[in-house]
Amino acid sequence: MGYMEDHSPNWIEAELRQLDAAGLRRTLKTQAGPQGAIIEVAGRGLINFGSNDYLGLAGDSRLADAAVVAADKEGWGSGASPLVTGRSTSHQRLEEHLAQFEGTEAALLFSTGFAANMGTIASLAGRGDLILSDERNHASIIDGCRLSRAEVFIYPHRDTDAVAVRLKAANGFRRRLIVTDSLFSMDGDCAPLPALAGLAERYDTMLLVDEAHASGVFGERGRGLCEQFGVEESVTARVGTLSKGLGSLGGFVVGSQQLIDYLVNRARPYVYSTAMPAAVAAAAIASLDIVRDEPHRRRELLRRAGQLRTTLRENGWQVGEGPGPIIPVIIGDPDETMELSARLADAGFFVPGIRPPTVPDGRSLLRISLSYLHSEEMIAGLIAVLANPQ
């Protein structure tokens, strides 16, 4: 068989020790109270630069109120998958709201963005197909590619030349699919969406764009980077999440009515998994309304993100490229990264250190995640501590 049998009495313990030794063991934290600019971890209030709550909606009482009203009317559990009894009036309304917000024919809700990617990718591609996937794509995209059983070509980060070369020689495949994050979750940079859209059209290839970190944040109407780059019409399937900028929970796919009808029949995490509670859908409707009615949140967030990037660079930090609220400060070594993160916590700032396998070896980083809720003083405080972290 080629495999060594493993006779160690406790191989799990050995694996954990190995993670410890490499400085890569992760442990859980628990925080008390709602999400916001300040969170309570281990009994201490920390200024929170760690969540993906870019617009400050996760703790907004309008979401919680909408959920309470819906739970009162529709109860809590959904009871079954959406195809059985799980799809309530609130689910349907949210899908209609999403299609309207995104300017597409239809939308489909999944329990999480992770499930939306896995289900959609594995439904669009299968044996005999080719998927082209950016090397820094999110884990849910990677797992969707693996699950699909298609041949997967992993191209160097943002390298559209590599995509073009591979597509030129891809005649033997039944179908082709390019998949990419729009805003990369750890690097904070953008996919080359116009070039990818052009290649998709030229080579009769489907394009799936995951807007998880861009939904609500970019674009005139807050739809994301496809809107900002003007490529929405060229995208076969846009995946998004309600769990980040939108402050709630759940994933979604938007596109043509045919695409959605097909996914309802084929996407296994949709067909075989229980629908989210109706109250969760109701909270997400409230957050879409806020994104529509309060565009100053995203504008102010992007302005402050640009300023923070500039200041950190002026102070000598290596800061990732990118336009948005994910601001990676690249340290390199995992131990050094975690030490800096711990020193920031001592000073009252929660800034998570990100290590392999989430980022490539040698690219451990502090991931500063900016929120609309951060005051100028909080941001200035972070800059000051980083300038003198002892």
Ligand X SMILES: *Cc1c(COP(=O)(O)O)cnc(C)c1O
Active site residue 213: yes
Sign of the alpha-carbon dihedral angle for 317, 318, 323, 327? negative
Contact between 35 and ligand X per CB under 6 A: no
* Minimum distance of ligand X from residue 141's CB (angstroms): 7
Backbone angles phi, psi at 276, to 5 degrees: -60, 155
Q: What is the rounded distance in angstroms from the CA atom of residue 274 to the CA atom of residue 76?
A: 13
* Minimum distance of ligand X from residue 174's CB (angstroms): 26
Q: Which is nearer to ligand X, 185 or 385 (CB)?
A: 185
* Minimum distance of ligand X from residue 165's CB (angstroms): 25
Stretch that binds ligand X, among 98-106, 111-119, 282-290, 304-312 (CB under 6 A): 111-119
Contact between 212 and ligand X per CB under 6 A: yes
Stretch that binds ligand X, among 37-45, 57-65, 210-218, 346-354 (CB under 6 A): 210-218
Which residue's Cβ lies closest to ligand X?
113
Distances (CA, A) of 237 to 45, 197, 234, 281, 390: 41, 12, 9, 21, 47
Active site residue 29: no
Task: Write the binding mask 216 to 255 for ligand X: x where contact by CB under 6 A, - elsewhere.
Answer: -------------------------x-x-------x----
Token pair, residue 301, equals 């967030």
Q: Which is nearer to ligand X, 144 or 385 (CB)?
A: 144
Indicate the burial class of 293 (C-beta count within 10 angstroms; 0-12, 13-18, 19 or more).
exposed
* Minimum distance of ligand X from residue 108's CB (angstroms): 14
Token pair, residue 188, equals 């904070």
Of 175-204, binders to ligand X (CB under 6 A) are: 181, 185
Coil/strand/helix, residue 259: helix
Long-range CB pairs of 341-345 (<8 Å, 24+ gap) are 341/366, 343/389, 343/390, 344/382, 344/385, 344/386, 344/389, 345/41, 345/46
Q: Which is nearer to ligand X, 48 or 120 (CB)?
A: 120
Q: Strand pairing of 364-369 and 326-332?
A: antiparallel
Binds ligand X by CB under 6 A, chosen from 114, 153, 155, 270? 114
Q: Which of 91, 97, 138, 244 is catalytic?
A: 244
Q: Which is nearer to ligand X, 119 or 170 (CB)?
A: 119
Total residues at interface with ligand X (CB under 6 A):
14
Stretch that binds ligand X, among 38-46, 113-121, 218-226, 362-370 (CB under 6 A): 113-121
Binds ligand X by CB under 6 A, chosen from 48, 88, 104, 112? 112
Stretch that binds ligand X, among 9-17, 110-118, 168-176, 260-268 (CB under 6 A): 110-118
Q: What is the rounded distance in angstroms from the CA atom of residue 136 to the CA atom of residue 122?
A: 19
Task: Write the binding mask 68 to 107 for ligand X: x where contact by CB under 6 A, - elsewhere.
Answer: ----------------------------------------
Q: What is the rounded distance in angstroms from the CA atom of residue 231 to the CA atom of residue 205?
A: 15
No. of H helices and E strands in the chain? 14, 14
Contact between 113 and ligand X per CB under 6 A: yes
Q: Which is nearer to ligand X, 116 or 366 (CB)?
A: 116
Element (H, E) at 293: helix 278-293
Distances (CA, A) of 337 to 136, 329, 352: 20, 10, 9
Could you count the other beta carbons within 10 Å of the beta carbon of residue 156?
Answer: 11
Binds ligand X by CB under 6 A, chosen from 134, 189, 210, 232? 210
Backbone angles phi, psi at 292, to 5 degrees: -70, -45
Q: Give which of 50, 79, 214, 40 is closest to 138, Cα–Cα.
A: 214
Q: Which of 51, 90, 140, 185 is catalytic?
A: 185
* Minimum distance of ligand X from residue 169's CB (angstroms): 28
Q: Which is nearer to ligand X, 88 or 117 (CB)?
A: 117
Coil/strand/helix, residue 52: coil
Contact between 138 and ligand X per CB under 6 A: yes
Active site residue 248: no
Backbone angles phi, psi at 177, to 5 degrees: -145, 125
Q: Catalytic site residues?
A: 185, 213, 244
Positions that interact with ligand X (CB under 6 A): 112-114, 117, 138, 140, 181, 185, 210, 212-213, 241, 243, 251
